[in-house]
Amino acid sequence: MNEAEIALECYESIAEAMEYYENEHYFAGLVLMNTLLEKYPKQADALSLKGLLMWNLGYKDEGYQFARKGFEYDPKSSACWRSYGYMLTQDSRVKESLEYYKKAAELSEFTDIETTNEYACVQTHLRMYSEALETRKKLLYQLHNEPSFWIGTGVLCYLLDQPEIAAKVFDSYCDTLMETSSEYDQSEVLLFYTDILEKQEKYQDALDHLEKIKDVVKDQRSWKEKQAYLLEKTGNIELAETTYRQLIYENPYDSRYINSLLAVKGYNKDNMRTWARNLLLNLMKSYPRSNTIADISLNYATPDEFSLEVKDIIQKSLRKGVPSLFARLKKYYRDTEKKDTIEEIMLGLVRKLENSGSFDGNAKDSREPPTALLWSLYYIAQHYDFLGDREKALDYIQKAINHTPTIVELYMTQARILKHQGDLETAARVMNRARKLDLQDRFVNSKCTKYMMRAGYIVKAKELFKMFLGKRTNTRKSLLDMQCQWFILEEGLAYLKKENYAKAIDRFLTIDSFYNDFKDNEFGIHSYCLHKNTLRTYVKLLKWEDTLRKHPYYIKAAKGAIKAYLALDAAQKLDATEEGANRRLNSVLQEDGELSDTQDKETKYVETTTPLEDALKFLEPLQRVAPDLLETHALGFEVYLRKEQWHLSRRCLIAMAEINKSHPSFLICKEMFEKTVSSKSMEENALLKKLKNLNLLDVSSL
């Protein structure tokens, strides 16, 4: 056979195998590729496709090996580089895939549409918006009638703060959109175009556009919200007020609409409180069932009005037996006068209920239900707990329990007060008593689990958690499947408290892996949203992903992991002898006399030779997402000081001083820095000497 015939045979076999691959008949495709490779063992595209088929059959390592052989035999094969990049993205190794997709796109001179599109998605995922925009432009040049390419280009311009260019892109596409897209697609794209005009601060143009597309838009609630905002921005106050009133009519429980109405009327200023109050009272007459309006109205009430109205709210809630009354009223505690008024009312009601059983204190014919006193005592217990007076809080909650000893909420609140007091063991026992009152309540069970964990009863906490797992016997797998962050975090903190650093680090790394999963799962969204035209949601998702690690669970896990690694670093310096190290390792791996089922992995954590470098993997994202927390910089200070990175540790000190220079942690760190630096020999440490000469180590002025 000549070269042309061989090439034709290979092409036909690979095309047939690709058809098998697309129909998910991976084994049949693999058989075909094996047959071809027996004749031509160095056929690059066949090797690459074989790797892809094996990867899909679960033989991932072998799949990568064959795919790599493909571009090693033929470095100029775009398909080989793309296949390898594709497998990496599917294995959530998007950052690694970038170089392979780049090579594949360059080899095809950006003429392979699928490769170039996937390359743009990888760049977008890695937030390389400028580079992704250039790639999208190349796609448009190749296929200018594909809607998703126009949309992708416009969205990237928007994300790059180039709304003028984004508007031109969508202007070019809108005519095609109206002819070919569904009504929903048209609605979403046209609403997003309004956002583009708004970003240019062309509020009147955006408003005109919004009016033009009214009949096309499917999401009428979003349309009205945007209309109200743009009317306000363009000075059409009366029309904006009308629109906000329509939104309140549709949903009188949304505080955004009510506050926006006050703002558009100019009633949110201190000198307009009376006007605001009258407006809200009129709204209350129209929507008497809206607690939201009533609550906002109290913010503008005079002291006498507040006293009368909050008393009415309290009495109605106590009659109905509303346990969440304190949660509703505690927002007023920011105002000392309002807080004192509520306290006076509640204490007065308790006295009257105890003496006469009524709110007025003397009317024999208007006795309140017995539960009114119960919920009054319950409220005051929460009130004093919130104010930090634990003794009074415990006294009142005990009175409530004595009144009716069968209410779950009473014991839960008693446990919470004890927790705030620092008595974690008693708090756990009381919460367990609450759990036993209602064994079917998952929420109470979870609370009890958390309290047990914080008291150090880890095994007992796990047993309680298992009760609601049903037939699933593998607790660890269930936790991972459900991504149950709160339990794994509490478990990690409990192990950290017990100085069981291996298990603590394992749990904190598990939390970190969840956030990596969230980020990895974003990859498929890039092409999906551009095809489905959910552009507003897509942009919100990207911005949300960028702030994802600001979640309190992640911040707590990161801080816990850094503390564990710092403790390991200190332990390694103390346990210089082999006997001491072995003794510490054994103590770390034991849990109530039983070896952990993940012992090998946990052993690796405590045997790390680079605990400070491992700590940096948590510290760096923590510094990005929580720079306003003093503890972030305190942990950073300690890590950098131990690594003898003096300028970075000093930078952390400066950040701490900016937050609170009178905080004990700052004062301790400052003293530690001065002592450490002064104890080092300048002659032995050239960097330290240089920093000293440049006056970059002086912290006396902080």
pLDDT (tens digit per residue) in 140-177: 988 888 888 999 999 999 999 999 999 999 988 877 77
Is residue 473's pLDDT more than 70? no
Closest by CA position to 375, among listed 328, 407, 417: 407
The single-letter DSSP state of residue 663 is: S
496 and 504 Cβ atoms separated by less than 8 Å: yes
The angle subtended at Cα 607 by Cα 604 and Cα 610, nearest 5°, is: 105
**Residue 109 region, left (φ>0) first, then alpha (ψ -120 to 50), else beta?**
left
- pLDDT value of position 222: 95
239 CB-near residues (< 8 Å, 6+ apart): 231
| Residue 52: alpha-carbon gap to chain centroid | 34
Measured distance CA(281)–CA(293) in Å, rounded = 8
57 and 26 Cβ atoms separated by less than 8 Å: yes
63 and 51 Cβ atoms separated by less than 8 Å: yes
User: pLDDT tens for residues 35-79?
Assistant: 888 888 888 888 999 999 999 999 999 999 999 998 899 899 999
- pLDDT value of position 178: 72
User: pLDDT tens for residues 402-432?
Assistant: 999 999 999 999 999 999 999 999 999 999 9
Per the listing, tokens 């032995």 go with: 684
Q: Which amino acid is at 53?
A: L
User: pLDDT tens for residues 519-558?
Assistant: 988 998 999 999 888 999 999 999 999 999 999 999 999 9
Closest by CA position to 381, among listed 337, 429, 437, 430: 430
Q: Which stretch, 32-41, 79-88, 692-701, has highest mean pLDDT?
A: 79-88
Backbone angles phi, psi at 594, to 5 degrees: -120, 140
List helix spans (H) across 575-610.
Answer: 578-589, 599-606
List helix spans (H) across 321-441.
Answer: 325-329, 336-355, 371-387, 390-403, 408-421, 424-437
- pLDDT value of position 36: 87
Count the helix, strand and coil residues of the chain and give each as a percent rounded to the nearest 5.
80, 0, 20
Q: Which amino acid is at 538?
A: Y
691 and 697 Cβ atoms separated by less than 8 Å: yes
Q: Which amino acid is at 222?
A: S
- pLDDT value of position 382: 98
Across the strands, what pairs with 595?
Answer: 590
Is residue 575's pLDDT more than 80? no
Lowest mean pLDDT among 491-495, 560-564, 668-672: 668-672
Lowest mean pLDDT among 302-316, 336-350, 492-506, 667-681: 667-681
3-state secondary structure of 554: helix
Measured distance CA(673)–CA(651) in Å, rounded = 11
Indicate the pLDDT class of residue 593, thresholds 50, 70 and 90.
Answer: very low
Indicate the pLDDT class of residue 692, thresholds 50, 70 and 90.
Answer: low
The angle subtended at Cα 89 by Cα 85 and Cα 92, nearest 5°, is: 140
- pLDDT value of position 556: 95
Measured distance CA(94)–CA(12) in Å, rounded = 31
Calculate mean pLDDT across residues 87-95.
93
Closest by CA position to 536, among listed 70, 189, 290: 189
Measured distance CA(404)–CA(321) in Å, rounded = 13
Detail the DSSP E strand segments found in 521-622: 590-591, 594-595
- pLDDT value of position 541: 94
Is residue 580's pLDDT more than 60? no
354 and 376 Cβ atoms separated by less than 8 Å: no
Lowest mean pLDDT among 21-30, 182-191, 605-614, 673-682: 673-682
The pair of three-digit structure tokens given for residue 405, joined into one six-digit string? 């000893």
- pLDDT value of position 594: 44
Measured distance CA(565)–CA(431) in Å, rounded = 33
The single-letter DSSP state of residue 366 is: G
Calculate mean pLDDT across residues 584-602.
53
Across the strands, what pairs with 590?
Answer: 595
Q: Which residue has the higher pLDDT, 419 or 687?
A: 419
Per this entry, what is the length of the chain? 702
Indicate the pLDDT class of residue 270, thresholds 50, 70 and 90.
Answer: confident
pTM here is 0.88
DSSP structure string for 169-208: HHHHHHHHHHHHS-HHHHHHHHHHHHHHHHHTT-HHHHHH
Is residue 313's pLDDT more than 80? yes
- pLDDT value of position 42: 85
Measured distance CA(466)–CA(484) in Å, rounded = 13
Indicate the pLDDT class of residue 7, thresholds 50, 70 and 90.
Answer: confident
403 CB-near residues (< 8 Å, 6+ apart): 370, 373, 374, 377
User: pLDDT tens for residues 95-106?
Assistant: 999 999 999 999
Neighbour-count burial of 683, counting CB atoms closer than 10 A to its CB (0-12 exposed, 13-18 middle, 19+ buried): exposed
Measured distance CA(634)–CA(666) in Å, rounded = 7
Closest by CA position to 225, among listed 260, 197, 193: 260
Indicate the pLDDT class of residue 8, thresholds 50, 70 and 90.
Answer: confident
Detail the DSSP E strand segments found in 227-377: none
Is residue 682's pLDDT more than 90? no
User: pLDDT tens for residues 476-493?
Assistant: 788 888 889 999 999 999
303 and 341 Cβ atoms separated by less than 8 Å: yes
- pLDDT value of position 40: 85
Measured distance CA(366)–CA(369) in Å, rounded = 10
Per the listing, tokens 């000549």 go with: 2
Indicate the pLDDT class of residue 324, thresholds 50, 70 and 90.
Answer: very high
Backbone angles phi, psi at 548, to 5 degrees: -60, -40
Closest by CA position to 466, among listed 483, 480, 445: 445
Q: What percent of the chain has pLDDT over 70?
A: 91
The pair of three-digit structure tokens given for residue 92, joined into one six-digit string? 């959530």
Is residue 237's pLDDT more than 90? yes
For the chain, what is the radius of gyration of the CA atoms?
Answer: 33
DSSP structure string for 18-40: HHHHHTT-HHHHHHHHHHHHHH-
Q: Which residue has the higher pLDDT, 179 or 128?
A: 128
Calculate mean pLDDT across residues 321-330.
95
- pLDDT value of position 271: 84
Measured distance CA(72)–CA(639) in Å, rounded = 43
3-state secondary structure of 534: coil
Closest by CA position to 350, among listed 338, 339, 337, 359: 359
Backbone angles phi, psi at 693, to 5 degrees: -65, -30
Is residue 591's pLDDT more than 90? no
Lowest mean pLDDT among 372-381, 560-569, 596-605: 596-605
Measured distance CA(567)–CA(579) in Å, rounded = 19
Neighbour-count burial of 61, counting CB atoms closer than 10 A to its CB (0-12 exposed, 13-18 middle, 19+ buried): exposed
The pair of three-digit structure tokens given for residue 688, joined into one six-digit string? 């330290």
The single-letter DSSP state of residue 657 is: H
User: pLDDT tens for residues 240-258?
Assistant: 999 999 999 999 999 999 9
- pLDDT value of position 472: 62
Q: Which amino acid is at 113?
A: I
